[in-house]
């Protein structure tokens, strides 16, 4: 055996030992997870990809034949790829959009609050319906940040939803109280964005 092959054998042995330890840790964590219920996930942060991640979970749920409800706050004035796909290809998905566009476009606080209230009633109904396996509240955090919706009402609806129902909330911020009631909180970090370099939003990628 050459010195080089002997060193390769030692590397392989170290790698195997390291992977065995890692597998043991993962298996132990899996074994410790005993609770079976729906989960609440918050996707927040300044980076791109929060809504995209949420719609990835929509696809995952649909793959198992689960019933899905999607409510989009803020968005809805400009057509998006996910809207086209869900309306044309996924009639089983309940999709409701506030439809006013971004708040910096409307510049009308009273109208935005009224639209948010109408939209929240749709979301609240889904959060009370055990037929929905997954509910996505896209950009809900802005409604809390701008105080368009009552925070306690929103948090109570999240906490009292059916036990088997999972929930995904997206958007920047939202406050610590929202984070506290969620099971999983992931922050998308903004490192670099093409738009800041003058690159136009791309159909199929950005909308």
Looking at residue 77, its pLDDT comes to 62
Among 2-6, 22-26, 108-112, 148-152, the minimum mean pLDDT is found in 2-6
Residue 127 has pLDDT above 70, yes or no: yes
Contact at 8 Å (CB) between 165 and 127?
A: yes
- Decide which of 88 and 43 is more confident: 43
Mean pLDDT of 96-117: 78
Residue 104 has pLDDT above 60, yes or no: no
Looking at residue 205, its pLDDT comes to 77
- Decide which of 35 and 67 is more confident: 67
Residue 38 has pLDDT above 90, yes or no: yes
Pairing of strands 166-170, 40-44: parallel
Residue 25 has pLDDT above 90, yes or no: no
Q: Which residues pair with 144 in a beta bridge?
A: none
Global pTM value: 0.83
Looking at residue 100, its pLDDT comes to 67
Residue in the structure block whose two tokens are 């959009």: 97
Phi and psi at residue 62, to the nearest 5°: -65, -30
Q: If DSSP codes are grouped into helix, strand and coil, which group holds residue 41?
A: strand
Residue 175 binned pLDDT confidence (cut-offs 50, 70, 90): very high
Residue 78 has pLDDT above 80, yes or no: no
Looking at residue 206, its pLDDT comes to 74
Task: Please state, rounded to an integer, the average pLDDT across all residues of the chain.
Answer: 88
DSSP 149-190: S-HHHHHHHHHTS-TT-EEEEESS---HHHHHH-SEEEE---
Per residue in 4-22, pLDDT (tens digit) is 776 777 777 788 888 878 8
Residue 102 binned pLDDT confidence (cut-offs 50, 70, 90): low
Looking at residue 105, its pLDDT comes to 56
In the chain the first and final C-alpha atoms are separated, in Å, by: 58
**Cα gap 54→65, rounded to integer Å:** 17
Residue 69 binned pLDDT confidence (cut-offs 50, 70, 90): very high
């Amino acid at each position: 055996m050459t010195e080089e092959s002997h060193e390769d054998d030692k590397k392989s042995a170290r790698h195997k030992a390291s992977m065995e330890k890692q597998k043991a840790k993962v298996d132990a964590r899996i074994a410790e997870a005993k609770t079976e219920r729906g989960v609440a996930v918050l996707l927040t942060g300044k980076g791109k990809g929060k809504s995209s991640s949420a719609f990835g979970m929509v696809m995952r749920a649909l793959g198992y034949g689960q019933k899905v409800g999607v409510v989009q706050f803020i968005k809805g004035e400009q057509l998006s790829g996910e809207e086209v796909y869900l309306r044309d290809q996924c009639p089983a998905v309940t999709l409701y959009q506030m439809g006013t566009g971004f708040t910096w476009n409307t510049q009308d606080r009273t109208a935005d609050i009224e639209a948010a209230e109408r939209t929240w009633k749709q979301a609240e109904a889904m959060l009370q319906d055990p037929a929905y396996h997954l509910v996505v509240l896209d950009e809900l955090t802005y409604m809390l940040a701008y105080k368009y919706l009552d925070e306690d009402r929103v948090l109570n609806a999240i906490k009292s939803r059916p036990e088997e129902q999972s929930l995904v909330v997206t958007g920047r911020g939202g406050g610590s109280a929202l984070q506290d009631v969620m099971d999983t909180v992931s922050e998308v970090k903004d490192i670099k964005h093409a738009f800041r370099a003058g690159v136009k939003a791309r159909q199929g990628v950005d909308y």
